[in-house]
Structure formats: structure tokens, C-alpha cells
Structure 1
């Protein structure tokens, strides 16, 4: 084990003053330990961080945006050929208005496509992960999004290394925990709405996974709920990633790092005629990983909050709650 978790203090040993917005961090202009401390503190305060200079292949990302727009522009009957209902929404297409946030009364105003991990047929984890399906109408869709999935996987490992250092763990602690995890790349489309449209595009929710890596949040609408109950906009500069803590990391850290409620609201009236596209990567623990609190996150002041559960059982539980698996 390395160091002590949650180390940030000033000379008087008092927590630093609160920030009013999520800080923008550079992956290339900070020493490894400094970046780990900064992103950990951003997660501790907001459950969110923003990262620029991340090194993901910009040309590949641009190809992904083009192909995502091409797919969502297909006629509905063509998109529905790849309906993901049979696999719990884990691979393929989920139609507009089908998903609903946990505890919400209104369905979200979005449609999406899921790309998952490819495993050999004889891998023991294959039974927990449906096989990918691919749209036949769009050349390069499969090759581009397989490569983009690998890019998110690679960058996610760098962020997990920083989190490990912040928690006082060895830098590679998460490597085995996420190997062959059921991570999902989601292509999201929020169609335009009328200038007078009320409400929100995606209801307030927390993510089930370990961490989420999001591209496309520069089109306004993403908001997080801070500790005082205020909704704060999260608008990174073009190309930067928004990263947030998921429920699995919250359980693993005994709620010392919080999985923060967030939502997507309708933009200002002048932008409501513009479609919103985003690309979140939900980074998951391996299905057979047992989620229980890290020892350094449990003490007299912070007793154990949650019972142990495997990542697969936890995911299945949530998919039922949001309506993608029928009980």
C-alpha cells in the first residue's frame, strides 16, 4: 500500500476551501502524483472531474462522431433491426424514450447504441456478456468503434492508476479488477426539441459502473448536483473529457468518493433545435469481482455502508431498476 488516502490538507490541517466549479485538469502538465491528488480531490468534492490533454486519438474520435450521426440518421425501421431489448440493452440499439432513470416517472428523451467487449468464445466470462452486434448499413462502423473502445479502455486505465495513488494503493491495483470488465461504449443521440419544450432530456441519476469517461459534453445541458443540492453546469472545452465516479467506486471506497447525481437539461431556447450527441464510456469491474469496501476507507468514523456484491449481480440489479431487464 502506498501513502495515506485522502491526504489533501493545508498547513493548519484543515480541508481546503470549496471550489465553485469542477476544475479542468491537464494530464500532461502535472506530475503523476500531483495529477492523482488533483483528480482525487475533484472526485471527493464533486464526484466529477474534467481532463484535457488526454492523448486520445483525435482523428479516430472524429470518425466516431461522423459514424454515430450517420447511424442515428437512419430510418427508424432500419435502426430497430438491431434492437437491444433481447440482451438487456447491453449491445446494439435502444430506441428513443425507452430508458428511464432509477426512481423517475418520465422516460428519457434519447436513443443510443451500445458497444461492448469482445471475448473469446471459451472465456469463462462470456456468459455474462452478450456478443456485439453491428449495423450492416454503415461501412467502418465495426472497425472504428472497436478501436475507439480500446482507446477509452487505455485512457481509463490511466485514470484508474491516478485514483489508486490517491487512495493509497499501488498504482496498478485496478489492473486485475477491471481486466475483461463489462465496460460499455454508448453512442447517445438527443434529438432536437421545440423552443418552448419544458423539462429535461435525461433524468437525474447516478452511474452504476466504476467510472464514466464522457466525450461530447461541450454541447450544454449536463449538470451535476453538488453537496448543497444545487445543480451546477458541467461544460468542458472542446475535446476535453468529463469523468465521474460511479456506484461501484462509491461502494469500493465506502462512500468516501461519491457517485453524484447528474442530469441532462434542455439547452437555452436558441439551442433547442440542435441535436445533442455524446459518447460516454462506462468502465466496469470484471463481472466476478467482489465489491467490498477497501480497508483504509473503513474506520470508527466511517463504518461499512454496503454489503459485498459481485459486479455482475450489481449490474443486473440496476438494469432491472431502469427497465432494460424485465423482472
Structure 2
């Protein structure tokens, strides 16, 4: 199994992209509409924010889950005991955000959300009839007017050498949502678990857009699309001195959306957040 970037401009882009999602749970796009320059600027501006004391004024709200999450409350992946080596900020259009960063991050949120809806349409159009009949409504409609879609600005700080044994930047996990859109980070480290149990490096050429299936789409498609395990490994050698920034947009349906006979989006999300110890 190998992950290869699909040209967004190609006449067979939708078919090739969805086939990659089907086989690996991941798809990689090049020549897509998200500007490399915009992403680079966001990385720089938010790294400065994480390296400042300003972040302490935006500590997250437990009730709404927006704002800054320090490393002391970082997630513990399901099945693991060590916290991930990361801190992050949850941006929602309705949530708290530093004034100096809000316009830029909001414009990025909206443009990436628009592309995400297009990709959901690709997925639905390329789903076999026996799979698409599971969808209780069009996939792109599931996220319409949703206030749950989350942009997470992730900061993996430089490693100091005193980290807990076996702790890594992001332990092996699956995403909860429908799909995740992630521009290639400023540093490598993202890996996906192959069917044979081996780990594959996800192509991280700056400018690529990485998309992966989440548990909710796996559930909604009757497990046709796999929510594949992935992780972010620690760098080695001189690379340990470099921070890593990434910008995953997690596409969440409206809470009332029916995923399957067993779950609504709300009941599924709450079950997973309890497993993660977040709520």
C-alpha cells in the first residue's frame, strides 16, 4: 500500500481520491485551492502566539471546549496512558479568539470548509449504490449550519529530553468526525497504519492537503470507508529542536444528524469524548 498525491485539477481526481480513501482511509491532494502562503502565515502567527504568555488569557472553557488547551490537559489517546506531547487551540466561529488572529483564521476556516463540502460530494458521488443507501441525507448536507465543525491549531513544542518514556506527539488514534482536512505540517511525522500493521509515512510535501476518514463517516457508510489509525511520531536528532504546527479541520455533522440505526452524531460524539476523558 502506498499513499500518492492526487492532482485536484485532474479529470479523474474525484475517482482517484475516493479510491485512496477507500483503500487506506487517507487521501492526499495537490494543486488544490488552499493557498500555501496563507497556511505558512498562519503557522508563523500561531507559533508566536503559543510561544507567548497571551495564550493564558484564552484558556479553554470546559462547557464549550473553545480556546487554548495547555499540555497539562492534552489528550490521552484511547488505549494509552501517556498524554500526547502537544498543546492546541480550538477555533470555532462563535468562540473566543485573539483579535489579532481572528480575521485570518476565520477566512481560512471558511475557505477550507467550502472545499470540505466539495470533497464530501465527491465521496458521495463515488460511493457504490449499496453504500450510499446508508446515508440518511447527503453527506455535504450533514455539515450544513453545523456549529460543531472544529479547526484545531496544534503546536508540538520542541523536545527537551525530559519527556515521559513512550510519550509521543500524538499517539495512535482515529478521528471522531466525518472527514478531517489537514494541510501538510511544517515538519514531518504523520504516519498511517497499513492493513498489515506497518506504519507508512504520509506524504508531507508542503502544499499537499491530507484528508482522512473519521469514525462518523465509517459508521454512516456501513464501514465501507475505513477510519484508519494514525499518529505523529517524535523527531530524532537535530529535528527535536524544531516545533511542529498543524491545522486539522474536523468536519462534524449537526448533533441531530442520524449516522446509523445505532447513533446520532451527538450520541456518537459524546461516547467518544467520554472514552478520551475529555468530558
Instruction: Write out per-residue CA displacement over residues 109-158 of structure 1, whole angstroms, 9 at most, x where no aligned residue.
Output: 0000011144xxxxxxxxxxxxx01235xx2x111111111011011012
1:83 and 2:56 aligned? no
Instruction: Write out per-residue CA displacement over residues 153-200 of structure 1, whole angstroms, 9 at most, x where no aligned residue.
Output: 011012111101111459x93232110221100100001114696642
Question: What is the SS of the residue equivalent to 1:113?
Answer: strand
Per-residue deviation at 1:101? 0.8
1:147 and 2:103 aligned? no
> Hey, what's the Cα distance between the residues in 1 that align with 2:145 and 2:90?
16
Question: What is the SS of the residue equivalent to 1:87?
Answer: coil
State the match for 1:254 in structure 2.
222
Q: How does 1:1-327 map to 2 (within 5 A)?
A: 20-28=1-9, 30-31=10-11, 34-75=12-53, 78-87=54-63, 90-98=65-73, 99-118=75-94, 132-135=95-98, 139=100, 141-168=101-128, 173-181=138-146, 182-194=148-160, 199=166, 200-217=168-185, 219-292=187-260, 307-325=261-279
Q: Is the 8 A contact 1:203 1:263 kept in 2?
A: yes
Per-residue deviation at 1:212? 0.5
> Hey, what's the Cα distance between the residues in 2 that align with 1:194 and 1:80?
21
Q: Which portions of structure 1, spanning 4 or more consecutive aligned residues, are displaced by more than 6 angstroms?
A: none
**In terms of mean alpha carbon deviation, does 63-72 or 258-267 score higher?**
63-72
Larger relative contact order (Cα-Cα within 8 Å, sequence gap ≥ 6): 2
> Hey, what's the Cα distance between the residues in 1 that align with 2:153 and 2:104?
13
CA separation of 1:279/1:316 partners in 2, compared to 1, >3 Å: closer, same or farther? Answer: same
Q: Is the 8 A contact 1:211 1:243 kept in 2?
A: yes
> Hey, what's the Cα distance between the residues in 2 that align with 1:64 and 1:288?
33
RMSD: 2.0
> Hey, what's the Cα distance between the residues in 1 that align with 2:236 and 2:210?
21
Question: What is the SS of the residue equivalent to 2:169?
Answer: strand
Give the paired residue count: 269
CA separation of 1:81/1:324 partners in 2, compared to 1, >3 Å: closer, same or farther? Answer: farther
Question: What is the SS of the residue equivalent to 2:29?
Answer: strand
Instruction: Write out per-residue CA displacement over residues 260-301 of structure 1, whole angstroms, 9 at most, x where no aligned residue.
Output: 111111122221111111110001112210101xxxxxxxxx
CA separation of 1:113/1:315 partners in 2, compared to 1, >3 Å: closer, same or farther? Answer: same
> Hey, what's the Cα distance between the residues in 2 that align with 1:203 and 1:55?
30
Which consecutive unaligned segments of at least 5 residues does structure 1 have? 1-19, 119-131, 293-306
Per-residue deviation at 1:230? 0.6
Per-residue deviation at 1:218? 5.5
> Hey, what's the Cα distance between the residues in 1 that align with 2:186 and 2:18?
23
> Hey, what's the Cα distance between the residues in 2 that align with 1:238 and 1:60?
12
Task: Give TM-score scaled by structure 1 length.
Answer: 0.77
> Hey, what's the Cα distance between the residues in 2 that align with 1:268 and 1:148?
31
